[in-house]
């Protein structure tokens, strides 16, 4: 895991590459290197994981000297690539193996053969082109943009801003998407002159910095199409056998490390299964880490401890407090570089910090919900659509209106029955879904934060980005939602959150459930293997039942939720009021004070739980106020 940056600048400013790389020292504190040649500059910051010797330093040249690479991430199947490419050199460094694969098959084919999490920049000396590439699911970030006549790129936006000609003009479309989804989806960035390399994509630039091609070597939509053409035809038992084989392989590959390694263990199905397989294969008792809360409705630390005890891990837990959260909020803009409002960023930052005190690499259960149907929207999708279809339009509208009424009693009743966190928020999203008349609108209602972001922005964009449902209309809505989550929510929210939280403290987080080979297999499985009987992740539950007792598996899903609603009304209230005051909102000039102040007042009063909307406004205001946002230009 590392940080990369660089530029193509005809004016000879390639020395800026070193300064760009130094902004990413937190991602790679162990070493740094720079390559300059003509108008190209490449920079690398190294977090040494495999091959700790100087031979692992980057930028790295291929054997012939044609390719110069800076790579962030890991190629997990590098031994397989080494064998298949016919290379005769040592097989200890995944970057060197990837370069040999480039020379054997070309960049596009070698990237298609690679399994891992990565983002890279490759200077091809022969064709005088720069190629930017990103892994299939977007585990590793990569931004690029224009700075006057130069092309600039980097793992984080802060690297691009080093160039004196980079303009920080806000992108209204990105801000609208942010308020809609609490994150900025690919390929947008908060700045007009910067974009994200989409997952599964190679972008080629000429020596003059102009883009010459953009090619998707893999996509969720393409993988879904292939899966629908070749559905899994075996029994559930056969599917379990293949899943266990594949996931075992993915975990085993991710145990390769020359530094201490552990696991993030929440006590949920996904992290428990990954930890169980890790414990079976590691040969020693792995270290595990979890976060708990003093608020009992949100605390899963006892379950995580019980799972750790059952699996024989060396477990360390930390209690998250509102004071600890308040200590983090000022640094969030610099950590995420652009507005980001998934409140589970707080415990994620804390657990990564805890883990880094003991290990350099941690396995996680990220991806299980998106791949195997773990979100409430997947489980409720068919029921919501069927129920809404049976109701006349007037009855649907009346039901939605009733669900939006402020009612603490109703929210408590929902929680007492379902044990779902944030019950009032779930009721509001259900109301939005009942207002919908098609699967796309239901999905938007279940995923959205601010439903009318144009009204919330002082200068709203003409177009508000939505999250389209992938797959044919004949496909089950839950399966379409899972695919859409894989393509959108996963890279833009979940993986952004985890990457920045880990890299803030130089912790490499690996996600076996997001290996593309496992994802492609899961896409072939029927819905009943994923969602059935009001439960999600059915096949993962059954695989885990071979290792843990039912009482540690069959529990209500809580996610990584924090007691944000209570904290905002209590210990975080003064901080929030300072950012959301009429004066602060007017001074920043991006948010319309009226709807924001109204939502804040409703939340404070307890009439409604609007924590997600309030948090989105707070994170944008904090970003605008911070050093990361202080030099931004107004949206045009």
Res. 135: pLDDT tops 70:
yes
What is the pLDDT, as a whole number, of residue 631? 47
For residue 450, is pLDDT > 50?
yes
At residue 80 the predicted structure's pLDDT band, cuts being 50, 70 and 90, is very high
pLDDT at 417: 47
What value does the mean pLDDT of the chain take? 91
Per-domain residue ranges of the chain? 2-218, 219-563
Alpha-carbon distance of 143 to 431, in angstroms, equals 37
Under 8 Å between Cβ of 545 and 296: no
Residue 410 has pLDDT above 60, yes or no: no
Tokens 């404070």 — which residue?
604
CATH topology of domain 2-218: 3.60.20
Phi, psi of 245, deg, nearest 5: -65, -50
Pairwise CA distance, residues 281 & 209, whole Å: 47
287 pLDDT band (50/70/90 cuts)?
very high
Instruction: Say how far apart CA 54 and CA 37 lie, in whole Å.
Output: 22
Residue 464 has which token pair?
């508000």
d(CA 348, CA 396): 38
Residue 321 has pLDDT above 80, yes or no: yes
Mean of the pLDDT values across residues 425-449? Answer: 73
Least confident of 367-371, 430-434, 452-456, 462-466: 430-434
Could you tell me the pLDDT band of residue 53, with boundaries at 50, 70 and 90? confident
Q: Which of 141, 399, 402, 363 is nearest to 251 (CA)?
A: 363
- Considering only 37-51, 99-113, 372-386, which range has the smallest mean pLDDT? 372-386
pLDDT of 388 reads 63
Residues 608-632 have a mean pLDDT of 85
Question: Average pLDDT, stretch 430-450?
Answer: 76
Q: 607 pLDDT band (50/70/90 cuts)? A: confident
Q: Does 511 or 388 have the greater pLDDT score? A: 511
What is the 3-state secondary structure of 385-453?
A: HHHHHHCCHHHHHHHHHHHHCCCHHHHHHHHHHHCCCCHHHHHHHHHHHHHCCCHHHHHHHHHCCCCCH
Tell me what pLDDT residue 563 has: 92
SS3 state at 459: coil
Residue 433 is predicted with a pLDDT of 64
Architecture of domain 219-563: 3-Layer(aba) Sandwich (3.40)
Q: How far is the C-alpha of 69 from the C-alpha of 58, rounded, in Å?
A: 7
Per-residue pLDDT at 17 = 97
Domains 2-218 and 219-563 belong to one CATH topology: no
User: What residues act catalytically?
Assistant: 2
What CA–CA distance (Å, rounded) separates 338 from 92?
36
Side by side, which strands form the sheet with 116-124? 60-61, 67-75, 116-124, 129-134, 201-206, 211-216
The pLDDT-based confidence of 12 (bands split at 50, 70, 90) is: confident
State the pTM of this model.
0.92
Average pLDDT over every residue of 222-232: 98
d(CA 42, CA 59): 7
């Amino acid at each position: 895991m590392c940080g990369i940056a660089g530029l193509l600048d005809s004016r000879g400013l390639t020395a800026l590459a070193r300064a760009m790389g130094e902004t990413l020292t937190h991602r790679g504190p162990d070493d740094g290197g720079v390559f300059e040649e003509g108008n190209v500059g490449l920079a690398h910051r190294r977090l040494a994981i495999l091959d700790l010797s100087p031979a692992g330093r980057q930028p790295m040249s291929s054997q012939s000297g044609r390719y110069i690479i800076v790579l962030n991430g890991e190629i997990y199947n590098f031994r397989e690539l080494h064998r298949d490419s016919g290379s005769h050199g040592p097989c200890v460094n995944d970057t060197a193996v990837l370069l040999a694969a480039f020379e054997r098959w070309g960049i596009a084919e070698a990237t298609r053969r690679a399994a891992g999490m990565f983002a890279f920049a490759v200077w091809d000396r022969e064709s005088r082109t720069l190629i930017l590439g990103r892994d299939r699911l977007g585990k590793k970030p990569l931004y690029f943009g224009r700075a006057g006549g130069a092309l600039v790129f980097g793992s984080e936006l802060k690297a691009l801003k080093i160039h004196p000609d980079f303009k920080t003009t806000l992108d209204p479309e990105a801000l609208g998407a942010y308020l809609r989804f609490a994150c900025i989806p690919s390929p947008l960035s908060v700045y007009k002159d910067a974009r994200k390399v989409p997952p599964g994509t190679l972008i080629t630039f000429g020596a003059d910095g102009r883009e010459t091609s953009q090619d998707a070597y893999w996509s969720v939509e393409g993988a879904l199409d292939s899966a629908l053409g070749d559905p899994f035809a075996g029994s559930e038992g056969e599917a379990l056998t293949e899943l266990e084989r594949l996931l075992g392989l993915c975990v085993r590959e991710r145990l390769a490390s020359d530094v201490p390694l552990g696991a993030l263990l929440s006590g949920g199905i996904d992290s428990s299964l990954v930890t169980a397989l890790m414990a079976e294969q590691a040969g020693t008792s792995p270290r595990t880490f979890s976060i708990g809360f003093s608020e009992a409705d949100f605390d899963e630390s006892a379950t995580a401890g019980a799972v750790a005890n059952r699996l024989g891990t060396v477990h360390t837990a930390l209690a998250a407090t509102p004071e600890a959260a308040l200590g983090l909020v000022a640094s969030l803009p610099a950590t995420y570089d652009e507005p980001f409002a998934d409140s589970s960023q707080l415990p994620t930052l804390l657990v990564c910090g805890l883990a880094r005190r003991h290990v350099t690499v941690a396995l996680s259960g990220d991806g299980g919900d998106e791949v195997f149907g773990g979100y409430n929207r997947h489980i409720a999708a068919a029921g919501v659509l069927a129920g809404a279809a049976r109701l006349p339009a007037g009855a649907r509208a009346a039901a939605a209106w009733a669900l939006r009424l402020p009612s603490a009693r109703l929210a408590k009743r929902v929680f007492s029955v379902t044990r779902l966190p944030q019950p009032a928020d779930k009721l509001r999203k259900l109301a939005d879904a009942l207002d919908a008349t098609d699967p796309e609108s239901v999905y938007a209602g279940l995923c959205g934060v601010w439903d009318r972001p144009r009204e919330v922005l002082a200068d709203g964009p003409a177009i508000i980005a939505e999250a389209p449902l992938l797959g044919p209309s004949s496909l089950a809505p839950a399966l379409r939602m899972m695919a859409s989550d894989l393509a959108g929510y996963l890279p833009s929210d979940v993986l952004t959150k985890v990457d920045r939280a880990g890299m803030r403290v130089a912790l490499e987080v690996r996600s076996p459930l997001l290996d593309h080979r496992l994802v492609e297999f899961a896409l072939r499985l029927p819905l009943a293997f994923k969602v059935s009987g009001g439960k999600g992740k059915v096949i993962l539950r059954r695989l885990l039942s071979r290792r843990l007792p039912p009482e540690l598996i069959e529990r209500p899903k809580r996610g990584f939720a924090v007691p944000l609603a209570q904290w905002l009304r209590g210990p975080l209230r003064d901080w929030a009021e300072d950012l959301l005051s009429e004066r602060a909102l007017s001074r920043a000039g991006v948010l319309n004070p009226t709807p924001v102040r109204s939502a804040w007042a409703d939340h404070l009063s307890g009439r409604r739980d609007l924590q997600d909307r309030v948090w989105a406004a707070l994170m944008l205001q904090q970003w605008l106020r911070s050093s990361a946002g202080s030099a931004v230009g107004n949206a045009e």
